[in-house]
Structure 1
Amino acid sequence: MAELTPMMIQYLKIHEEVPDALLFFRLGDFYEMFFDDALKASRELEIALTGRDCGLDERAPMCGVPYHAAQTYITRLVEKGYKVAICEQMEDPKEAKGIVKREIIRVISPGTISEGKLLESKKNNYLMTLYLENNCLGIASLDVSTGDFFVTEMKGKNKEQWMAQLSDELGRLLPAEVILNPELFKDSQALGLIENNFGILASLYPEKYFNVRNGGKRIIEQFDVFALGALDLERRDHAVAAAGALLGYLDATQKRALTHIKTIRYYNSKDYMVLDLSTRRNLELTQTLRTLEKRGSLLGVLDKTVTAMGGRTLRRWVEAPLLKTESIFERQGCVDAFYNNAPRLPEFKTILTKVYDLERLCGKLSFGSINPKDLLALKQSLGALPLIKDFIDTIDSEKLQQLFDNDDILEDIWDYIEKAIDDDAPMVLKDGHVIKTGFHQEIDEFREATDKGQDWIRDLECRERENTGIKNLKVKYNRIFGYFIEITKSNLSQVPEGYIRKQTLSNAERYFTPELKDMENKILGAQEGLLRCETEIFQKIREQLLKEIPRIQKKAREVAELDAIYSLATVAQQNHYVCPKIVDEKTIFIENGRHPVVEEMIGSDHFIGNDCTLNNDDQRMLIITGPNMAGKSTFIRQVAIITLMAQIGSFVPADAATIGVVDRIFTRVGASDDLASGQSTFMVEMTEVANILKNATDKSLVILDEIGRGTSTFDGISIAWAVVEYLHNEDNIGAKTLFATHYHELTELESLKPGIKNFSIRLKETPDGVIFLRKIISGPADQSYGIEVAKLAGFPTRVTQRAQEILGHLESGENTYRQELLVTEPPMLSGGKGSQLNFFDVAKSMTDEEEAALSTLRDLKMDEMSPIEVMNVIYQLREKI
């Protein structure tokens, strides 16, 4: 260290404060990085790596980015999972004695982003802290950009229990960053869950920051209350420790008072339906399994919200269905009120289009990054509140009246911004004309002086043209030379003696006069005074609005809920959903139910609805058999999704529905390896089924699809049979269950276990193959039709013929079938060709429409398409033909 230059010593000492971050070290007009930071940044940002003398024998690796473009580079680094510390010059280098004083002003990480393209408008960006002690987890989650702050505690008898609860909560909130106490950080299994399974940036935070006493004081200070009991945090030590550590982390990294964090809400997981990660993925609640996109998910169907706030609210509702019937009735009643006023919904949508993201505007206000355009957006949003009030007043709904507080529509804040900010204010404060004329006397005086000066300049230009006879004489300005008179060289002979040369150009000369210089000083002095004064007044306006953040946030939450309700009502009206009857009984009845996502993709005219009845008595479990692609998986998923929709307060895609509140929905659908943890498809399947068997209750809904396929047939049947018995047994679980399977042996259980019923998918056999009718009927399927499905998938004829022969041997039960199959060739028809019609040999007899359909089929990339996408194309082609 002694050999290093003073500046490099300063750099390394400051870096010791943030050893896990890349340090953007301000040097003049650049942010520079050195040593390992430079190597990482140059690689990740693809910028040139240079060097700088540092006092050592070798030059220090160095790279840098311009300060005015730094935000773009910071965004790219944070997107890649890095933390970036911004180190600024805290004094003017010209006035500094020795090394310029520098300090870290902020640390930016995935969980502390407050604005920019990394923030999804309709998704919260949570920073989470976890505190583990004695198998109890304290969890605190905060969206820094909006101020949404939630805390809870989760207790387990052992590690397995709290790990399962942690996985569920991570899957629900999907935080961008997680801060851990040492006990949790050193647990390799927990750390692997966070970093590998979820891909979340995890950081260690010293144990001293998780102190319950100090955390409690910090919480009381932040939320300005007398005691923790006022926040429902009394005797919730683990939650207090986690929340206190989170606030301490923000104090250390953001270096400012975050005044928009005004509320903290303790929630109990027992108030919401618990959905494990497997269920969220399998039901594709917020993103699809294949593309991880919102489109094609349940949220993609339900989200017709107009505002970003409403979109985030609706996402939270989908991710946390309600358990209390009173809460469901309340939300359902609001949706019903909008639904019954369907012709007026476009009017409400028009009002909502005037509302910007009030929650994140409050965040920018708190961070000090709000600009004049943002204040105009805030004013416009507040201006929509009286329109919302008038709309709600015309709807006869007590629940809506309770949701939206008509007594405070922030008219005083709107009026303040209206008087203060110019309607044409620019985005950047230094561009001027931010403060409205008449709001501040000194600004008006500076502005008048500036305007008069500009008029004087224009008059001078006209006067000098007349006096000199030079028609193209111009009075110009630039930041380096100020004001000057520019004359082309062809007119230099006409330049008066009183002109003083200022600059020579290739084709012109620039001059000034004492009079012009005097006026320049007045104009520039007025402009500098105007900018200084506007900046000061703008900061005072911001400080005044900071006091109003709690009122603005309260209104933002009300508007967000109204927007989410509007969305659910709009979807219900457009797609002909019905209001489900919510009961506390252990029953589910759905008449002509549909899968909302599949219906939207293929069209309501093509979707075949199905009934479903489940109870805890004579029809507790449905065993559903039938061929692949017939619709078993769609049916069992739609029952789960309709139940979930009902418990978020939504209408549902059915002709009628009665939904008994379920405490959890479990799914085991599909097959996938977990390569990260080295688990095979079968091991993943067994782990998920084990989770169901341990946690399901008689109030749960269980969806199982093809369990036991990853091992031998007899092992698979045995496991599936035992699982069915265990789920069915009321002494064990007695859960309502939909079980789709190809194991026809399981259909025998109907006669052995009261409450188990067999159902199957109706289909029609034709000489050309089978036609799936998509209708659920009572009774088991007589066969699986797997070979017919293989034909539909395009298997070569010789393969399907051979499969048919092998199936015959297996069904005959011959003892020698294994030896015969090894030596027997499949029968060949005359000419050595199979009997299947070659679809492409009949093109000559096709119509134009059929030829177009054939061309479409040839171009399909079926190996890259999902079954639903293939079905959609087939339906479209059928319509054309």
Structure 2
Amino acid sequence: MAQLTPMMTQYLQIHEEVPDALLFFRLGDFYEMFFDDALKASRELEIALTGRDCGLEERAPMCGVPYHAAQNYITRLVEKGYKVAICEQMEDPKDAKGIVKREIIRVISPGTISEGKLLESKKNNYLMTLYLENDGLGVASLDVSTGDFFVTEIKGKTKEQWLSQLSDELGRLLPAEVILNPALFKDPQALGLIENRFGILASLYPEKYFNIKNGSKRLLEQFDVYALGALDLERRDHAIAAAGALLGYLDETQKRVLTHIKTVRYYNSRDYMVLDLSTRRNLELTQTLRTLEKRGSLLGVLDKTVTAMGGRTLRRWVEAPLLNSAAILERQGCVTAFYDNSSRLPEFKAMLTKVYDLERLCGKLSFGSINPKDLLALKQSLGALPLISGFLDSFDSEKLMYLFDKEDLITDVWELIERAIDDEAPMVLKDGHVIKTGYHPEIDEFREATEKGQDWIRDLECREREKTGIKNLKVKYNRVFGYFIEVTRSNFSQVPEEYIRKQTLANAERYFTPELKDMENKILGAQEGLLRCETQVFQEIRDDLLTQIPRIQKKAKEVAQLDAIYSLATVALHNHFVCPEISDDKAIVITNGRHPVVEEMIGFDHFIGNDCTLDNDEQRMLLITGPNMAGKSTFIRQVAIITLMAQIGSFVPAEAANIGVVDRIFTRVGASDDLASGQSTFMVEMTEVANILKNATEKSLVILDEIGRGTSTFDGISIAWAVVEHLHNQQTIGAKTLFATHYHELTELESLKPGIKNFSIRLKDTPDGVIFLRKIIPGPADQSYGIEVAKLAGFPAGVTRRAREILGHLESGEDTYRQELLVTEPPMLSGEKGNQLNFFEIAQGMTKEEEEALGTIRDLKIEEMTPMEVMNVVYQLREKI
């Protein structure tokens, strides 16, 4: 340090405050980075790496970005998982004595983004803190951009239990960043869960920041209350420690009081249906398994919200279905009120289109980054509130009016912005014309002086043209030279003697006169005064609005809920959904149920509905057999999704439904390796089944699809049989269960265990092969039809004939099958070449349409398609031929 230059010494001292961040160090019009930061930034941003003398023998690596374009570079770095610390010059270099004073004004990380393209409009961006002590875990989650703040506690008698619950919370909230206390950061299982399984940025935070006493004090200060009981946090030490550390982290990194964080809500995970990560993924609630996109998920079907706030609210509902039947019916009643007035839904949608993201506007107001255009957006949004109030008044629904407080429509804030902010105000304050004429006398005086000065300049230009006879004489302005008279070279002879030369160009000369110089001082003085005064008045208006944030946020929540309800009603109307009955009994009865996502893909007229009855007595477990591609997986998934939709207050895709509230939905569907944790397909399957067996209750709904296939046949049957018995036994679990399987041996359980019923997929045998009718019927399947499925997939006729021959020997139980089938080679069929299979043997006499369909199939990239996409293509081809 002794050898370094003063500026580089300052840089390294400041960097010690944020050792885990890239430091954007302000030098004039650039943010510069040095040493390791420069090496990383130049690589990640693909910008030039240079060097700077620093006092050492070798020059310090250096790279930089212009300050006016810094936001784009910061966004790119944060997107890659970096933290960025912004270090600004805190004094004018002209006035500095020695080195310019600099300070970090903010640290930006994935969890502290308040605006920009990294924020999804209809998804919360959570920063989470976790505090582990003994057998308890405090969890605090905050969306800095909206002010949504939630806390809870996880209690587990064993490490396995609290890790499982933590996984559920991470899967539900999907935070962008997690801050850990040392005890948790040093736990390899917990850290691996966060970083590897979820891919979340995890950072260590010193234990001193998780102090319960300091955390309590910070919470009381932030929310302006006298006791923690007012926040429902009394004697919740783990939650207090996590929440206090989160606020402390924001104090350190954001360097300002965040006034839009006005409420904190304690919740108990038992208040909502628990959905583990496997269930969320398998049911594709908010994103698809393959593309991780919203389109093709349940949320993709349900989300017809108009506002960003409504979209975030609906997502939270889907991710946390209700357990209280009264709360479900209350939300369902609101959806019904909109549904029953369907002709007026377009009118309500038009009102919602006027509403911007009020929650994130409050965030920008708190961060001090709100601009004039944002205030106009706020005004327009508030202007829609009286319209919404009048619209709801015309409904005969107390439930809807309960959601919207018509006594406070925040008209005073609307009036303030209407009086103060010009309707054509620019986005950038320094561009001027922000404050309306008539709002502030001093601004009006400066504006009049500026406008008169401009009129004087135009008059001067006309006078000088007439006086000199130079028709193309112009009076111009730039920031370097101020105002000047410009004359082209061809007119130099006509320039008056009193003109004073100011600048020589290649084809022109620039001049000024004492009169022009005097007016320049007056005009520039008026412009500077106008900008200074407008800036001051704008800041005063912003400070006034800071005090109104709680009122605006309350209205934002109300509008968001109405928007989410409007969305559910709109989807119910357009997709032929019905209102389910909700009860606290244990039965689930669905008539002609449909899968909402598949139905949207293939069309309402093409989907074949199915009934389902599950109770805790005579029919609490359905064993479903039948071939692949026949519809077993779709059926069992749709039962789970219909149940979940009912518990968020939505209508459901069925002719009728009576849903007994379930506490959890478990799914074990599909199979894939977990390479990151070194688990095979079978191990992943067994781990997920073990989770179900440990946590399911008699109030749970369990969906199992083909368990035990990853090992030998006898092992697989044995495991599946034991799992069925354990789930069925009311002394152990007794959960409502849908079990799809190829193990026909399990169908014997119907006669052995009361409450287990066999069902299968109806098929139709034709001379051309088997047709799947997609209908669930009582009774087991009589065979697997695996060879028929292979035929449908395009296997050559010789291979399917050989498969039937082998199957016949195996089913006959002949002792000689091993010698006959495995030693003797089958005869080579004409047209076959070695082991290369010909999947497209074109039959004679095909129609043109059939040949075109076959060509379409040949060109399909099946390895890149989902089963749903394949089914959609098949339906289209069937219609074509």
**Structure 2-normalised TM-score?**
0.98
What are the residue-to-residue correspondences of 1:169-248 with 2, within 5 Å?
A: 169-248=169-248
Counterparts in 2 of 1:430 and 1:809: CA distance versus 1, 3 Å: same
Distance in 1 (alpha carbons) for counterparts of 2:351 and 2:278: 39
Match of 1:718 in 2: 718
Match of 1:301 in 2: 301
Q: How many residues align?
A: 879
Q: Is the 2:796–2:840 contact (alpha carbons within 8 Å) kept by the matching residues of 1?
A: no
Runs (4+) of structure 1 moved beyond 3 Å?
827-834, 836-845, 849-855
* Offset, 1:858: 3.4
* Offset, 1:855: 4.0
Letter in 1 for 2:283: L
Q: Bigger CA drift: 545-554 or 856-865?
A: 856-865
Q: Which runs of 5+ in 2 are unaligned?
A: none
* Offset, 1:802: 2.3
Match of 1:325 in 2: 325
Q: Is the 1:87–1:104 contact (alpha carbons within 8 Å) kept by the matching residues of 2?
A: yes
Q: Is the 1:382–1:414 contact (alpha carbons within 8 Å) kept by the matching residues of 2?
A: yes
Letter in 1 for 2:12: L
Per-residue CA deviations over 1:694-718 (Å, capped at 9, x if unaligned) read 0000000000000000000000000
Q: Per the alignment, in what secondary structure is the counterpart of residue 216 of structure 1?
A: helix
Distance in 1 (alpha carbons) for counterparts of 2:95 and 2:830: 100
Q: Per the alignment, in what secondary structure is the counterpart of residue 425 of structure 1?
A: coil
Match of 1:106 in 2: 106
Q: Bigger CA drift: 404-413 or 29-38?
A: 29-38
* Offset, 1:877: 2.5
Distance in 1 (alpha carbons) for counterparts of 2:463 and 2:878: 80
Counterparts in 2 of 1:832 and 1:17: CA distance versus 1, 3 Å: closer
The answer as to 2:585 corresponding to 1:585 is yes
Q: Per the alignment, in what secondary structure is the counterpart of residue 604 of structure 2?
A: coil
* Offset, 1:99: 1.0
* Offset, 1:854: 4.0
Q: Bigger CA drift: 95-104 or 541-550?
A: 95-104
The answer as to 2:484 corresponding to 1:500 is no
* Offset, 1:880: 3.1
Match of 1:71 in 2: 71
Match of 1:444 in 2: 444
Match of 1:285 in 2: 285
Q: Which runs of 5+ in 1 are unaligned?
A: none
Distance in 1 (alpha carbons) for counterparts of 2:350 and 2:167: 40
Match of 2:624 in 1: 624
Per-residue CA deviations over 1:459-509 (Å, capped at 9, x if unaligned) read 111111111111111111111111111111111111122211111111111
* Offset, 1:111: 0.2
Q: Per the alignment, in what secondary structure is the counterpart of residue 106 of structure 1?
A: strand
Match of 1:419 in 2: 419
What are the residue-to-residue correspondences of 1:750-789 with 2, within 5 Å?
A: 750-789=750-789
* Offset, 1:127: 0.2
Counterparts in 2 of 1:328 and 1:62: CA distance versus 1, 3 Å: same
Cα root mean square deviation, aligned = 1.5
Counterparts in 2 of 1:803 and 1:439: CA distance versus 1, 3 Å: same
* Offset, 1:72: 0.7
Q: Per the alignment, in what secondary structure is the counterpart of residue 653 of structure 1?
A: coil
Q: Is the 2:627–2:784 contact (alpha carbons within 8 Å) kept by the matching residues of 1?
A: yes
Match of 2:733 in 1: 733
* Offset, 1:828: 5.6
Q: Per the alignment, in what secondary structure is the counterpart of residue 640 of structure 1?
A: helix
Distance in 2 (alpha carbons) for counterparts of 1:839 and 1:753: 47
Letter in 1 for 2:476: K
Letter in 2 for 1:339: Y
* Offset, 1:870: 1.2
Match of 2:879 in 1: 879
Q: Per the alignment, in what secondary structure is the counterpart of residue 605 of structure 1?
A: helix
Match of 1:846 in 2: 847
Match of 2:276 in 1: 276
Q: Per the alignment, in what secondary structure is the counterpart of residue 732 of structure 1?
A: coil
Q: Is the 1:798–1:826 contact (alpha carbons within 8 Å) kept by the matching residues of 2?
A: no
The answer as to 2:479 corresponding to 1:479 is yes
Match of 2:825 in 1: 825
Letter in 2 for 1:171: G
Match of 1:664 in 2: 664
* Offset, 1:364: 0.2
* Offset, 1:304: 0.2
What are the residue-to-residue correspondences of 1:26-105 with 2, within 5 Å?
A: 26-105=26-105
* Offset, 1:797: 3.1
Per-residue CA deviations over 1:815-874 (Å, capped at 9, x if unaligned) read 23223222223356677799x999674688634x44543443333212211121111112
Per-residue CA deviations over 1:174-211 (Å, capped at 9, x if unaligned) read 00000011111110100000000000000111111111
Counterparts in 2 of 1:753 and 1:574: CA distance versus 1, 3 Å: same
Per-residue CA deviations over 1:510-547 (Å, capped at 9, x if unaligned) read 11111111111111100000000000000001000000
* Offset, 1:239: 0.4
Letter in 2 for 1:470: I
Q: Is the 1:626–1:742 contact (alpha carbons within 8 Å) kept by the matching residues of 2?
A: yes
Match of 1:256 in 2: 256
Q: Is the 2:794–2:840 contact (alpha carbons within 8 Å) kept by the matching residues of 1?
A: no
Match of 1:265 in 2: 265
Distance in 2 (alpha carbons) for counterparts of 1:727 and 1:854: 45
Q: Is the 1:358–1:378 contact (alpha carbons within 8 Å) kept by the matching residues of 2?
A: yes
Distance in 2 (alpha carbons) for counterparts of 1:544 and 1:355: 21
Q: Is the 2:798–2:829 contact (alpha carbons within 8 Å) kept by the matching residues of 1?
A: no
Letter in 2 for 1:815: D
Q: Per the alignment, in what secondary structure is the counterpart of residue 116 of structure 2?
A: coil
Distance in 1 (alpha carbons) for counterparts of 2:363 and 2:52: 39
Distance in 2 (alpha carbons) for counterparts of 1:619 and 1:174: 37
Q: Is the 1:212–1:241 contact (alpha carbons within 8 Å) kept by the matching residues of 2?
A: yes
Match of 2:692 in 1: 692
Per-residue CA deviations over 1:302-358 (Å, capped at 9, x if unaligned) read 000000000000000000000001110110000000000111101111110000000
Match of 1:369 in 2: 369
Per-residue CA deviations over 1:121-174 (Å, capped at 9, x if unaligned) read 000000000011111111000000000000001101010110000000000000
* Offset, 1:746: 0.2
Distance in 1 (alpha carbons) for counterparts of 2:809 and 2:335: 59
Counterparts in 2 of 1:582 and 1:486: CA distance versus 1, 3 Å: same
Match of 2:683 in 1: 683
**Structure 1-normalised TM-score?**
0.98
The answer as to 2:432 corresponding to 1:432 is yes
Q: Per the alignment, in what secondary structure is the counterpart of residue 262 of structure 1?
A: coil
Q: Is the 2:796–2:839 contact (alpha carbons within 8 Å) kept by the matching residues of 1?
A: no
Q: Is the 1:805–1:826 contact (alpha carbons within 8 Å) kept by the matching residues of 2?
A: no
Q: Is the 2:705–2:739 contact (alpha carbons within 8 Å) kept by the matching residues of 1?
A: yes
Q: Per the alignment, in what secondary structure is the counterpart of residue 153 of structure 1?
A: strand
Distance in 1 (alpha carbons) for counterparts of 2:878 and 2:513: 84
Letter in 1 for 2:651: F
Q: Is the 1:646–1:652 contact (alpha carbons within 8 Å) kept by the matching residues of 2?
A: yes
Distance in 2 (alpha carbons) for counterparts of 1:845 and 1:182: 71
Letter in 1 for 2:21: A
Q: Is the 2:796–2:841 contact (alpha carbons within 8 Å) kept by the matching residues of 1?
A: no
Distance in 1 (alpha carbons) for counterparts of 2:263 and 2:546: 15
Match of 1:576 in 2: 576
Distance in 1 (alpha carbons) for counterparts of 2:614 and 2:151: 36
Distance in 2 (alpha carbons) for counterparts of 1:457 and 1:500: 17
Q: Per the alignment, in what secondary structure is the counterpart of residue 605 of structure 2?
A: coil
The answer as to 2:843 corresponding to 1:860 is no
Q: Is the 2:796–2:838 contact (alpha carbons within 8 Å) kept by the matching residues of 1?
A: no
Per-residue CA deviations over 1:257-310 (Å, capped at 9, x if unaligned) read 000000100001111000000000000000000110000000000000000000
Distance in 1 (alpha carbons) for counterparts of 2:733 and 2:403: 39
* Offset, 1:439: 0.5
